[in-house]
Structure 1
Amino acid sequence: MNIQNFIKKFQTLAAIGLWAVLWFCFTTSPLYSQNKEDLEQLIRESKTRAALVQNVQKAVVHIKVEKILRDSQGQPLNNPYDLYNEEFFKRFFPGIKPPERQPGQPFRQEGMGSGTIISQEGYILTNHHVVGEADQILVKLYDGKEVRAKIVGTDPESDIAVIKIEGDGYSALTIGNSKELMVGESVIAVGNPFGLTQTVTYGIVSAKGRTNVGINEYENFIQTDAAINPGNSGGPLVNLRGEIVGVNSAIYSRSGGYQGIGFAVPINMAQRIMDDLINKGTVSRGWLGVGIQDVTQDLAQAFNLENAKGSLITGVMRDTPADRGGLQRGDVVIELNGEEILNSRQFRNEIANAGAGSDIEMKVVRNSKTMYFKINLDERPKELGRVSMKPDKSKENVFGFSVTNITQDDVNKLNLESSNGVLIGEVKPGSLASKEGLAAGMVIQEINRRPIKSVSDFNQIMTESSPVKGILLLVVSDGNARYVNLKQQE
């Protein structure tokens, strides 16, 4: 062997040895071990998530609905565009109206959505807008079997519905606690977008407590970026424990497709409605009997509040829990059952969800002072139009003036002895009241020798009195009392 061959062989062996040493050092280094462990951990998590999804899918159903469309005279419709009805456009193409319907031969509208089996007895949770007006409902199970379903009950105000299929032993999802959800937490949506059954998407909780979406009467949406599209409606939003935490309901989109903003009804809200529908066929909501509005920054300054949060009471209805409990116009509710109230819609939702017969505890700011109230709720009347607001202001009467209730602010500003009586609000120029010297800011304490404490008393006595015979008023102004007799000429 010559010297050159020896050198080449030595170089080759040295290179191999060097690579072996480097490989050994790399594979036994802490960094390589950590990377390998991290990769294996990711693989384990991915497989765990896949197994979780498979269990969830067994409880998710594809819902097909059919409905014969008719016009306002009960005539069938024959317009293929009716497949995309007003509710569809409202949820997926906001601001765009569907084509006008034309009368014709019977036309069967077909729709689709998703649902979640929530009991082994075959109860399925879904959206009202999916099944609420259906003539026939067909449910496709995870194993491909199709069965008929019937409506147990629906609630248009929350967009929640319950349907049922015959049989038992179905795979059902465990109900979670949406109140424990955190913004940023991972969630999974399962459904049938565009008829693509058992589609799974993954995302996070983008926000909670969305109350101003403008779709439902009662809104407290979970916002998520998990892809939701037409057909996902009624399907579950689940956490990484495989528990249902929301019912997918709508998306925000300019195109009708996914744009990263989806909304789900929280399961805590949906479950109470679901239980009512299953047990009673209708939904019972708690009712306080007040008018409310949000606290703006300007109102917060006017009411000497620390911040623009809470729910401002704008009126109290007669003989309601609020009336009996002592709430007044101008009160600002800042806490309900120990939970901070951010706006009026949240307050309204919490009252409704509490249910009739529930005792609630409220923290209220009145005239810069903190007060506490414990009130027992009534059931919300079916027709709120029949319940009148406790009047804070009367209409202008035949004598040309109107009155308002006396608030604590009025007592302080006008240096009054009490809030008994009513405050003259407006006086029509040239009227009999104006000619007799009545003016805004004066207090009426009696009518026809009968004491009055509120606008209700004033209206009652005025109704019983005759303008021709006249009314005798006891009027207080600047601490001085005088009687004024108003009599309308025949």
Structure 2
Amino acid sequence: MYRKISILVLLLFTLGGTQAYAAIPNVTTEGKPFPSLAPMIKKVHPAVVNIATFSTQQYRNNPLLNDPFFRHFFNIPEQQQQPQQQPQKRQQSAGSGVIINADEGLVMTNYHVIKGSDEVQVSLADGRSFQAKVLGQDAELDIAILKIKADDLVEVKLADSSELEVGDFVVAIGNPFGLGQTVTTGVVSALGRSGLGIEGYENFIQTDASINPGNSGGALVNLAGELVGINTAIIAPSGGNVGIGFAIPINMAKASMEQIIDHGEVKRGQIGVGIQDINADLRKAFELENGQKGVLVTSVLEDSPAKKAGIKAGDVIIAVDGKTTGSTGQLRSQIGSKAIGDKTKLTILRDGEKLQLKVNIAKPQSAVSAEGKLHDLLDGVQFAKDPEGNGVLVANVAAGSIAAYGGLRPNDVVVAANKRPVKDIASLQKALSLNKKAVLLQVNRRGGSLFIVLR
């Protein structure tokens, strides 16, 4: 009976669909229009673009075709040796981007959208397409800035992403699966997400607005149509959207953009501290209040900005410029979003007392000892004395350095180098001198041991 009723209802809507939908009012009983995102979407729509990238691959013939015995055995004619190279093949991928400066033709997208491409093409909502120039990228944050030469562009206004709160409504706009511009809605599910291993600097906005392949680089806007984030990743254990998407806060992306425009690259600074997340045992050991969030300072480098500002090992950093800090990943992102030469205000806990300290952001120091540089492959790495005496502590690893790409992380403890045990900087330097072209490190990380090779 239920099935028959369903079919009857379906037929009624199919045969008389026009009349049925025409009967639905578009205003309330008071004559007011129903709430709609349409006006805001119409304003933002022209500022969101589709991005196509093209790369060239060279395919070579199998080298066995050059072997006379192989050709004779399989009766391959001589002329099939040539050509040595087959025609080039072009590959295309699709993503999204946002116009953030209409006058200059600047478009912001994800670095992974344009990575490895020979040509980038930007298609506007009005149907026009333009070849784009890549001004620069920030691989650690996953941001790239493009430039197109076009008239009558529309830009989106940038919001202050630090004002976002969990529960705020947001709208994701992009080009999922290459279908064309698509709008999905949701809320801010969480803020300050880090430790996901997606990017080098993580402080993500989490949202349940549907984000799918192709949405990368697209806009996450608030209900006022202001850009709050750049959509970048999803967690998809089943292969599809499950309501857990991540966007880069626009404040972080804007900081990278300004450096790219001014210098063509992003140079991040540091303050010179070793840091560690606070767990229940550390909270108890340092007599912190139950539930207290922050980041524990494990070491302070000599002659560093932190040392000069008065920061000490055992301090707990709880805020940067008044913004709460809850994890090492979040602190790295807060410091990493500032330019070298900037000043920042840290709020710390020391023996139960809150202190405000101003710290300069300085250039990353290279790995050096009293005798000089340790190794070329360790440029951008800062070492400190391990408090427990098990080896040499990695205090900081500069973003974009060879060591960072090789997998070395802050708070790793180097216990061996090039198969030689390491107890201090002197023994580390002696072990590193055994090989100038490569470095084999054995490190302890969170109770486990692993090997890292740098070349």
| TM value normalised by structure 2 | 0.68
1:134-163 residue CA offsets vs partner (Å, 9 max, x unmatched):
111111111111211110111111111111
Displacement after TM superposition at 1:363 (Å) = 2.7
Displacement after TM superposition at 1:63 (Å) = 0.4
| Equivalent-residue separation in structure 1 for 2:154 and 2:301 (angstroms) | 47
Matches within 5 A, 1:294-333: 294-306=277-289, 307-333=291-317
Match of 2:383 in 1: 389
Is residue 2:75 matched to residue 1:111? no
Matches within 5 A, 1:199-278: 199-278=182-261
Contact 1:189 1:238 in 2 (8 A): yes
1:381 to 1:123, Cα distance in 2 relative to 1, 3 A: farther
| Equivalent-residue separation in structure 2 for 1:403 and 1:210 (angstroms) | 29
Is residue 2:49 matched to residue 1:61? yes
1:105 to 1:350, Cα distance in 2 relative to 1, 3 A: same
Query: What amino acid sits opposite 1:312 in the alignment?
Result: L
1:146 to 1:167, Cα distance in 2 relative to 1, 3 A: closer
Matches within 5 A, 1:394-409: none
| Equivalent-residue separation in structure 1 for 2:260 and 2:227 (angstroms) | 19
Displacement after TM superposition at 1:295 (Å) = 0.6
Contact 1:112 1:130 in 2 (8 A): yes
2:105 to 111, 119, 122: 122
Q: Secondary structure at the match of 2:147?
A: strand
Moved more, 149-158 or 331-340: 331-340
Q: Secondary structure at the match of 1:309?
A: coil
Displacement after TM superposition at 1:338 (Å) = 2.6
Query: What amino acid sits opposite 1:374 in the alignment?
Result: K
Contact 2:383 2:392 in 1 (8 A): no
- Structure 2 unaligned regions, length at least 5: 1-26, 63-84, 368-377, 394-423, 431-455
Displacement after TM superposition at 1:261 (Å) = 1.2
Displacement after TM superposition at 1:111 (Å) = 0.9
Match of 2:29 in 1: 36
1:343 to 1:76, Cα distance in 2 relative to 1, 3 A: farther
Structure having the larger proportion of residues in helix: 1
Displacement after TM superposition at 1:62 (Å) = 0.7
Q: Secondary structure at the match of 2:312?
A: coil
1:243 to 1:292, Cα distance in 2 relative to 1, 3 A: same
Moved more, 352-361 or 268-277: 352-361
| Equivalent-residue separation in structure 1 for 2:366 and 2:385 (angstroms) | 21
Q: Secondary structure at the match of 1:45?
A: coil
Is residue 2:27 matched to residue 1:45? no
Query: What amino acid sits opposite 2:363 in the alignment?
Result: E
Larger Rg: 1
1:334-376 residue CA offsets vs partner (Å, 9 max, x unmatched):
2322333222222221111232222222232334454442221
Aligned length: 338
| Equivalent-residue separation in structure 1 for 2:124 and 2:246 (angstroms) | 24
Query: What amino acid sits opposite 1:321 in the alignment?
Result: P
Matches within 5 A, 1:50-449: 50-69=38-57, 106-120=88-102, 121-306=104-289, 307-380=291-364, 385-391=379-385
Displacement after TM superposition at 1:299 (Å) = 0.2
Contact 2:341 2:362 in 1 (8 A): yes
Contact 1:393 1:403 in 2 (8 A): no
CA-atom RMSD, angstroms? 3.1
| TM value normalised by structure 1 | 0.63
Alignment identity in percent? 44
| Equivalent-residue separation in structure 2 for 1:382 and 1:169 (angstroms) | 47
Q: Secondary structure at the match of 1:158?
A: coil
Displacement after TM superposition at 1:50 (Å) = 0.8
Displacement after TM superposition at 1:381 (Å) = 5.2
